[in-house]
């Protein structure tokens, strides 16, 4: 009988200890344990990204290297490219620049700085690379940079499409 009581006692103590430890595993009692994985140079959500190391080149090739001028257009202005450009233009640019590129898109009226008329010589006389950089980097306070929304190929397709706007004028 005494042994039985002792066993009950031991199991009771073990049970309580187990229940208390379970509180942590179910996140009822939260403790911010120090883990060494936390101590590392990665950045957390909403933290500004680390600066790109000097002299690094993006995986899809050097788009444009500062002080080395505008890039060359590697995408031939064939039917496929222009058709793709037209589609992308309707999605990303038309609301500002208008269907025919003259700058009369649906939201143009609400903008303080009016979208450029892409059919004019002012724009058409610029190099492909220069238009590419404008699409990539935007125009501060006027046009959003679209390099994150459009792949490199997308942007060259758009440049090829913009060329057709002059002819259609």
Phi-psi region for residue 46, left (φ > 0), alpha (ψ -120 to 50) or beta? Answer: left
DSSP string for residues in 61-103:
--S--TTS-PPP--S---HHHHHHHHHHHHHHTHHHH-TTSSS
- Kindly state whether residue 115 participates in binding ligand HEC, applying the rule CB under 6 A: yes
Query: Whole-number minimum distance, CB 24 to ligand HEC, in Å?
Result: 51
- Kindly state whether residue 75 participates in binding ligand HEC, applying the rule CB under 6 A: no
Contact residue for ligand HEC among 71, 134, 156, 160 (CB under 6 A): 134
From the list 169, 1, 15, 153, the residue with the least C-alpha distance to 78 is 153
In this chain, which stretch among 1-9, 41-49, 60-68, 129-137 interacts with ligand HEC, using CB under 6 A? 129-137
From the list 80, 78, 108, 83, the residue with the least C-alpha distance to 93 is 108
Query: Whole-number minimum distance, CB 118 to ligand HEC, in Å?
Result: 6
Considering the complex, state which of residue 17 and residue 90 has its C-beta at the smaller distance from ligand HEC.
90
Return d(Cα 27, Cα 104) in angstroms, integer: 56
- Kindly state whether residue 133 participates in binding ligand HEC, applying the rule CB under 6 A: no
- Kindly state whether residue 97 participates in binding ligand HEC, applying the rule CB under 6 A: yes
- Kindly state whether residue 158 participates in binding ligand HEC, applying the rule CB under 6 A: yes
């Amino acid at each position: 009988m005494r042994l039985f009581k002792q066993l009950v006692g031991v199991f009771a103590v073990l049970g309580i200890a187990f229940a208390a430890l379970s509180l942590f595993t179910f996140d009822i009692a939260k403790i911010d344990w120090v883990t060494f994985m936390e101590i590392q140079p990665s950045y957390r959500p909403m933290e500004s990204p680390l600066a790109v190391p000097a002299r690094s080149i993006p995986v899809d090739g050097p788009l444009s290297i500062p002080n080395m001028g505008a890039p060359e257009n590697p995408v031939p202005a064939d039917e496929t490219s222009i058709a793709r450009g037209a589609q992308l233009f309707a999605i990303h640019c038309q609301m500002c620049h208008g269907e025919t590129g003259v700058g009369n898109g649906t939201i143009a009226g609400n903008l303080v700085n009016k979208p450029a008329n892409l059919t004019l010589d002012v724009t058409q006389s610029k190099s492909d690379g220069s238009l590419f950089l404008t699409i990539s980097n935007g125009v501060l306070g006027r046009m959003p940079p679209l390099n994150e929304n459009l792949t490199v190929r997308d942007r060259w397709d758009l440049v090829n499409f913009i060329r057709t706007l002059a002819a259609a004028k």
